[in-house]
Structure 1
Amino acid sequence: MDPAAAVQWCEEEGTHSESSVVIELPGEAWAEEQISQAVKTLSLDRKAWVIAVKTDRVTSGTYALLECKQGIPENFKGASVQWANKTELCVIHMKVPEEGPTSSSQAESNKEEVPSPSPLATIGPELFAALGDFVSKCQRDPPTYSATGYRKLRVFSGRQPVPTGEDSFEEWLDQATQALDEWDIPETQKKQRITESLKGPASAAIHNLKLRKRNCVAQDYLNILQDVFGCTEKASDLIYQLEHTYQNVGEKLSEYMRRLDTIIHQILLKKGLDPQKVDEI
């Protein structure tokens, strides 16, 4: 991948080329978790985030687009960077505008007390066009997502009984579903945030999904977890259960309502109810 292609990739993903680089990893067998761990290890002084990943079947290589909000790390400023296992990763830098005259050359010209022509006299239509293009790029809206400062999902492993410090699947899925609706970030970032909250059998379920379906999205992650760890009743069975759940003798109304709410939540996950009618039901 050449620098021009890297700049085009930045524009497609909505990132700033001046704070981004592309690294080339040998081979195609690189999982997203491996790439994220490698980047995290190599960018200790400044955080770098994996925005997108591409595989080139012609060159049998993998490319990762990184965004560095705090500036490009020092060890990424060269032509390559070496990982802990002695793997050499090629670094592709973006094209930058050529620098104008240096301050020293300007100082030398100032010493020559020779009147210079008006700058406007030397400006041609090509330069005006280039300046207009540069200004339009500067005014382009930045990405609406933030790579830092978000509230992470709580941990879910899928083990039974539920380990101390973890949520049950229903609790975890509820917060994950809400977060997925609120995150205004690229699909790759959504999948990364979900994956980092999983471990054990839950993480294995996502790994198996990615082996079967290469172009899966974040919602596919939640769907497969629902199939593996969610309740097995159909929506119609849960509605029947709701209609035949009565208040027990001596049971507080608040406790009875919590039991009903649990069943309704399961029906919502099965897409058996209109969320707008929950209060009425």
Structure 2
Amino acid sequence: MALVTELREWCQGESLDEDHVLLALVPKGSEAAQIEQTLETVKALGRVKVRGRMYNSKLDRITALCECRERIDPTKVPSDVKHTTTDVSWPIIIASKRSGSDGDALNPLSVLLDASSSNSSAESIIRAVGDVLSKIEKPSGENSSYRRLRVFSGTLPTPAGEEALEHWLEQARLMVEESDCSDREKRRRIMECLRGPALAVVKAIRTAEADVTPFKCLDAIESAFGTAESGEDLYFEFRLLQQEKNEKLSDFLRRLEQSLTKVISKGGIPASRMDTARVEQLLRGAIHSDLMLVQLKLRERKQSPPKFLELLAEIRAEEEYAAARIKLRFYQFD
């Protein structure tokens, strides 16, 4: 249809091989470097270079002609890719037919272009717009675009461009827990961002157990590169944490939560005691926020302690109220 025809004609005009070229429909103002970086999150494309850009008034988007180092495989290239920071979906048009489709008929944006012609009814245009929105917003299964994990190798000190173990594990566990794709796809996503010693660890456990679960992969990485301290040691460190001078109570609570999460994961205390331990240590360690602790009445609530997010919201509200009082006092004496 229209967009595939445009792609093929553009390839002929630029003397490009259409098997290595795609069209990306991107928002106005997108820089070439942004487009290339976002498309390169699709591993099957390899390196990407923008070869041309043109404004499409019907879609109110920029049509970017992009050349890929790898030959485009319709089974591996998703129908849209999400921008690396904004999560806005960018539809992708390729010349080859995707499986189970009739060429460009797969892409609802082409239907919208056809429906926008002068002899189309308002009903057909509205229906086409609905198809476009549902296609852009709906995940497309295991081949859909996703935000790739940062690189992790296990090397110390952490090289530039890599993620520290704790942050990497947090993102990786979130991906495994929240993604609805298969365990095989989750393992692939984990392994594609591993390098050096970390990759060797996962390869070793996969050799011993071909169908090892993604959670076991992450546990192995944590065991190999994480702290060797026991749950009891981590709990002892947690009990020693104190609020630093000029540290807001909300920041101290977040620091407590990070430490407490490690304690729970290592079995230092049962998860059922998490809320109680959090409040007890907040009362013990918040040495620069006595007045705020009194106002929050946490000592009276130790038998029925609030959850982390509830407690954080209460503290932040109290901090904002205190800041407003200080500002008001400043204006009064100004």
What TM-score comes out, normalization by structure 1 length?
A: 0.47
Higher relative contact order (CA 8 A, sep 6+): 1
Q: Which has the higher helix share?
A: 2
